[in-house]
Amino acid sequence: MTKPIDHASTVTRDEVEDFLYHEADLLDRWKLDDWLGLLTDDASYYVPPNDKPEGDHRFTLFTVADDIVRLRERIIRLKDPNCHAEFPPSRTRRMISNVRITGTEGDLILVSANFAIYRYRRNETVPRLFVGCYRHKFKLTDAGLKIHERRAILDAEELGAMGAVSFLL
Amino acid sequence: MLDKPTQNGRSNGSYDGKLVVEDLENLTFQVHRKVFVEPDILEQENRAIFDKCWIYVGHASEIRNPGDFRTRHVAGRPVIFCRDRQGNVRALFNVCRHRGAVVCREREGNTRQFYCIYHGWSYNTDGSIKGIPGDDAYPPNFNKKGMGLVPVPRLEHYKDFYFANLDPDAPDLHTYLAGAKDYIDLVVDQSPSGRMEIISGVQEYDMKANWKLLVENSVDDYHLVSTHATWLNYMRNSGVNVTPAKGHMLPTKGFGKDLGNGHLTTDNPNYRGRPVARWISVYGEDAKADIDAIRNELVERLGEARAARVADTNRNLCIFPNLVINDGSSVTVRNFTPVAPNLMKVTAWALGPVEETEAQRARRLHAFLTFYGPGGFATPDDVAALELAQQGYAAWREVPWTDLSRGMGNSQEQLATDEGHLRVFWRKWDSMMSGAPA
């Protein structure tokens, strides 16, 4: 009897941290096509509603619930100068911390991390602050680590002054 | 005359003090931008409009069971929307009778009582007083029984949509809603049992813009092509035909309608898909048979004509002053409240038939996010447009007039891309602000 592979032990926290820092850097520099390259071909991206952070997007109205098809369309939109909510594009700075490998789900590696994203917009001197945690599912592929599921959970009770979530959290 | 509104929009002030200027002879309709920036106008709106009109509180489906509650703000006042232990729907000011603290702090839940943490006064779910610690210290004439939570002066519903009115003398809700009732019916008819429900998950976000701009924006189809170019692109990429109809700005010829009492709607032949019951490629091939089945149920129950009315039109309905029900790519109930002349709080929900299967509900929610909400493909650009308008109003003294004359030459019909339905709102707003009979 062979011992089942412990997928969590196939990567180190250092590797996951490096990956998340690289991802944050791509997003902050609006290298969105490069960012898409970090995802699996069946990836999804979720931002649950502030009042139901543990909700399921099939039964609960989310802020964002993209499958890969819609996520690719979102990138097309974000790169378009007619994406008025992000023109000129927001200047963002992402702080990632408290990175942990929390377990596995089949061959997926579960990762949690905290984030604080400062978002500066044209005509606004005070940044809009987005604080929360990531619950990601990674897959180790022949091309290295990829994101299979990406979930950004905001801490605030309501979006309020954050306004629209028109950029990628 | 310098003060007169002119074609280039320049003027040195208000036109005889009028803020809404309609000239039927010269076919002009202008609104003074002072109405979007002046604090005294907001104060007047709060007294003359929000304290006099029926304001949306919530939907019966949100408080299904005895003891269920939701905390809300109605015209700026903290309110508990709840179902008491006897099953009656209540809207109570969320304010302790003793020293005025908010007594219910949670967003939602189920409870046997509301309890004030300050001195421990407690209330039953029907609002009656339950307990006052140390009540033997009160003088003999102290009326403990009369110290229950105060109900909103009026609470009425139409097909499970509950509204409150702070004016005890207001006309009843059904009379107030006038022609808007027919358009609520078109939404409710999507459910085989006539029961719709608010789906869990709320979107609450601010817009740095005057609240009246969202009334206009919610029903204004003129902005679709320019503001929502990326959404149209997304639809096109997904195989949806969004080519404008011959001689029109949009794929179909839709209308703007006056429903009486300041309520208004768009009424458009659908092209953008509807979970009930019009398939588009975005839903995927797998969904075709299911959409057909929903359609067949509609036809059986309502007949061919009514089924087509429900399934093949989308309607953005505005109930004066601040409730919008968009029955478009999905159904959204959206409520907005001014906090300052340049800031509003928006609350939006998704609405669906209670009978929906898991797959149908998932499709409805997916369809919602193609367009609506702070993370949707369209709403964030509306926010951007409205905030840009508000920024522009910093020059309201120099560039004072907003033009709303589109379609004024057409006496027969108003297109959804005209501004006839927007003028309905402004006439009602103007009459209430000047104290004219409603």
Q: What is the per-residue pLDDT for B3?
A: 45
Taking only Cα atoms into account, the Rg of chain A, rounded to an integer number of angstroms, comes to 16
Cis peptide upstream of residue B380 (ω within 30 degrees of 0): no
Cβ distance B184 to B159 under 8 Å? Answer: yes
Q: What is the per-residue pLDDT for B247?
A: 84
Where do we find the tokens 């039964």? A59
Find the closest chain A residue to B199 by CA distance: A60
CB contact, 8 Å: A158 with chain B?
yes
CB contact, 8 Å: A160 with chain B?
yes
CB contact under 8 A, A84 and B368: no
Nearest to A134 by CA among A69, A60, A59, A48: A48
Nearest to B205 by CA among B337, B21, B318, B304: B337
User: In this structure, are strands B68-74 and B196-198 parallel, antiparallel, or unpaired?
Assistant: unpaired
- When CB atoms are compared, the residue of B204, B238, B358 closest to A50 is B204
Cβ neighbours, 10 Å, residue B204: 19
d(CA A50, CA B67): 24
Q: What is the per-residue pLDDT for A2?
A: 62
CA B189 to chain centre: 19
Q: Can you tell me the mean pLDDT for B341-349?
A: 98
Q: What is the per-residue pLDDT for A28?
A: 98
Q: What is the per-residue pLDDT for B12?
A: 44
Band of pLDDT at residue B70, cut at 50, 70 and 90: very high
CB contact under 8 A, A163 and B368: no
Q: What is the per-residue pLDDT for B412?
A: 80
Q: What is the per-residue pLDDT for B77?
A: 97
Q: What is the per-residue pLDDT for A123?
A: 84
Q: What is the per-residue pLDDT for B41?
A: 97
Dump pLDDT digits (tens) for B238-263: 999 899 888 888 888 999 999 999 99
Cβ distance B210 to B341 under 8 Å? Answer: yes
Where do we find the tokens 């990632």? A96
ipTM reported for the complex, 2 dp: 0.94
Q: CA quadruple A55, A61, A63, A64: dihedral positive or negative?
A: positive
Q: Give Cα separations from B209 to B348, B392, B398 (angstroms).
A: 17, 11, 19
Q: What is the per-residue pLDDT for B411?
A: 76
Dump pLDDT digits (tens) for A105-155: 999 999 999 999 999 998 888 999 999 999 999 999 999 999 999 999 999
Dump pLDDT digits (tens) for A37-79: 999 999 999 999 999 999 999 999 999 999 999 999 999 999 9
Dump pLDDT digits (tens) for B409-436: 887 889 999 999 999 999 999 999 998 6
Q: Give Cα separations from B9 to B4, B5, B18, B396, B429 (angstroms).
A: 9, 6, 15, 10, 21
- Please give the span between the terminal C-alpha atoms of chain A, in angstroms, as a whole number: 44
Q: Average pLDDT of chain B?
A: 94
CB contact under 8 A, A73 and B237: yes
Cβ distance B205 to A85 under 8 Å? Answer: no
d(CA B348, CA B205): 9
State the smallest CA–CA distance between residue A106 and chain B in angstroms.
Answer: 25
Burial degree of A58 (CB within 10 A; 0-12, 13-18, 19+): middle
- Please give the span between the terminal C-alpha atoms of chain B, in angstroms, as a whole number: 32
Enumerate domains of chain B plus CATH numbers. Answer: 56-165 (2.102.10.10), 179-433 (3.90.380.10)
Q: What is the per-residue pLDDT for B438?
A: 47
- Asked if the model's pLDDT at residue B397 lies above 90, the reply is yes
Cβ neighbours, 10 Å, residue B418: 22
Q: Can you tell me the mean pLDDT for B308-321?
A: 97
Q: What is the per-residue pLDDT for B4?
A: 52
Q: What is the per-residue pLDDT for B315?
A: 97
Degrees (nearest 5) of the Cα angle B84, B87, B88?
A: 70
DSSP letter assigned to residue B163: E
Taking any CB pair shorter than 8 Å as contact, residues of chain B touching chain A are 107-108, 199-208, 227, 229-231, 233-234, 237-238, 345, 349-350, 358, 361-362, 365-366, 368-370, 373-375, 377, 379-381, 383-385, 391
Q: Can you tell me the mean pLDDT for B223-230?
A: 94
CB contact, 8 Å: A129 with chain B?
no
d(CA A114, CA A107): 23
d(CA A137, CA A144): 14
Band of pLDDT at residue B180, cut at 50, 70 and 90: very high
d(CA B275, CA B230): 22
CB contact under 8 A, B377 and A77: yes
d(CA A24, CA B193): 49
Q: Give Cα separations from B226 to A89, B66, B393 (angstroms).
A: 18, 48, 21
d(CA B427, CA B438): 11
Q: Give Cα separations from B272 to A55, A101, B230, B305 (angstroms).
A: 27, 42, 14, 20
Enumerate domains of chain A plus CATH numbers. Answer: 7-162 (3.10.450.50)
Degrees (nearest 5) of the Cα angle B69, B70, B75?
A: 130
